Amino acid sequence: MKSMTEQRTVAWSKLRIWLCAILVATLVRGAGAQKTTEPQLYFVAIGDVPLDMMEGLVSHFEAKFGVPIRTLPTLAFDRATVDPQRPQIVADELIRAIRRRYATLATDPRTRVIGITPIDMYMAAMREQWAFTFSMRNTDRHFAVVSYARMDPANLGEPPNDELLRSRLRKMITKNIGIMYFGLPAGQDPRSALFGNVLGVDDLDRMTEDFDPNQASLEASSLETTEGSGNYVLTVPGSRLVITIPKGSLSLAEHPVEGAAGSPRYFYLEDKALRLIISGWFESDQGFSGIRRFWADETAEWKSKNMPEAQGVSFVKLGKWDAVLYDLAVPAGRDSNIRAHWVQTGTWIDIHLSISANLPQSERRTKLRDVL
């Protein structure tokens, strides 16, 4: 007769075969064909752009799209870019200035640079038709500049509203990322971030920060679970992401109705023999502000409820998952956990894996990593 440890080892081997090291979030309807060589996205401040604004933009878009963004050194204001006949920058000249300053990057076909400036500007081609422009891209769509001068309520004779300013700026940057990085076309939907005819702040305020605002809102949707070919397939109407989890010995369980677990987008699977739990939920990417902020908020809530303090905390990147590993003291011994986050195309997936087993910490964590 096999010992309990041997039984668990055999069970884990079976589960690993079933899982095939897969817990994958995949695009159901991607923004476009996957490129063999992905572009590299850069942001650069031009002039006096607040540091916290630049850091916030990088953090926001890395979380929103799941792509790395590098920040280039600030580009000083260049008077050669100014039209002496009107107190504005010529956007065309500003792009040329960026290309001159970062000449090496300009020769790399993967480069995508978005310059951000508080200085008012216009496009040379529309000098006689337009008083200003929010943004301009060069012809190969590798470089763009965005001015938030006329997005700022304070510059328009209105009370200062930093939140509104940053929302407008994010929309215009989202449009540029969609066109430059993902290769999406501009469109005619005035609510889409890809709207092609943005003439003023009224247009910006009608726009959303989503490429496809016609998708059903995640907040109004419930989890859909289907079973087939030995898998659980989880998704939410309105999301472009799907989670496929091979069944193995996992079974769907009724989830609690209180707190976050009461969300209609929550899922809970359990392998009782292995004492393994996989749970989580789908949410809008607007709710995710980064792994460290998430963890700070999470542990603050634990403390307020006198819950056990996490031990052995470490932040790691597991494939495309942003994850935090930690242990908790439980009545039966130790409980090892991974909280992993996948953010892409408007959706945030938060997965919690936990295992309670009489094993060394390193073995418990290795098993969880294998599952993820």
pLDDT at residue 10 tops 60:
no
Please check whether residue 147 lies inside any domain of the structure.
Answer: yes
| Co-location of 139 and 188 in the same domain | yes
CATH of the domain at 200: 3.40.390.10
Q: In sequence order, which residues have a C-beta less than 8 Å from that of residue 255 and are 6 or more positions away?
A: 261, 262, 266, 267, 268, 279
Q: Within a 13 Å sphere around the CA of 313, how many CA atoms are in the beta-carbon half? A: 11
Please check whether residue 23 lies inside any domain of the structure.
Answer: yes
pLDDT of residue 285: 80
pLDDT band at 310 (very low <50, low <70, confident <90, very high): very high
Please check whether residue 213 lies inside any domain of the structure.
Answer: no
Tell me the torsion sign for CA atoms 240, 241, 246, 247: negative
Q: What is the mean pLDDT of the chain?
A: 84
pLDDT of residue 256: 53
pLDDT at residue 334 tops 70:
yes
| Co-location of 74 and 202 in the same domain | yes
Please check whether residue 332 lies inside any domain of the structure.
Answer: yes
pLDDT band at 355 (very low <50, low <70, confident <90, very high): very high
**Please, are residues 227 and 233 in contact by the beta-carbon 8 Å criterion?**
yes
Please check whether residue 212 lies inside any domain of the structure.
Answer: no
| Co-location of 334 and 353 in the same domain | yes
| Co-location of 22 and 143 in the same domain | no
Please check whether residue 313 lies inside any domain of the structure.
Answer: yes
pLDDT at residue 247 tops 80:
yes
CATH of the domain at 327: 3.40.1000
Task: Count the domains in the chain.
Answer: 2
Please check whether residue 35 lies inside any domain of the structure.
Answer: no
| Co-location of 170 and 80 in the same domain | yes
- The tokens for 325 are 């590993």
Backbone phi, psi, residue 88, to 5°: -145, 155
**Strand pairing report for 266-271 and 241-246:** unpaired
| Co-location of 202 and 270 in the same domain | no
Mean pLDDT for the stretch of residues 69-96: 86
Residue of 336 and 78 predicted with greater confidence: 336
| Co-location of 108 and 222 in the same domain | no
Residues 130/131/132/137 CA torsion (nearest 10 deg): 20
| Co-location of 174 and 272 in the same domain | no
| Co-location of 50 and 199 in the same domain | yes
| Co-location of 95 and 194 in the same domain | yes
What one-character DSSP code corresponds to residue 187? B
Indicate the residue among 206, 238, 253 that finishes a domain: 206
Residue-wise pLDDT for 148-189, tens only, equals 999 999 999 999 999 999 999 999 999 999 999 999 999 998
Please check whether residue 362 lies inside any domain of the structure.
Answer: yes
Indicate the residue among 179, 206, 233 that finishes a domain: 206
Q: Within a 13 Å sphere around the CA of 305, how many CA atoms are in the beta-carbon half? A: 9
Span of 110-124, 239-253, 316-330 with lowest mean pLDDT: 239-253
| Co-location of 247 and 157 in the same domain | no
- The tokens for 324 are 């935090």
Mean pLDDT for the stretch of residues 56-71: 92
pLDDT band at 261 (very low <50, low <70, confident <90, very high): low
Backbone phi, psi, residue 303, to 5°: -60, -40
pLDDT of residue 1: 39
**Residue range(s) defining the domain that contains residue 9:** 4-30+218-371
pLDDT band at 289 (very low <50, low <70, confident <90, very high): confident
| Co-location of 199 and 259 in the same domain | no
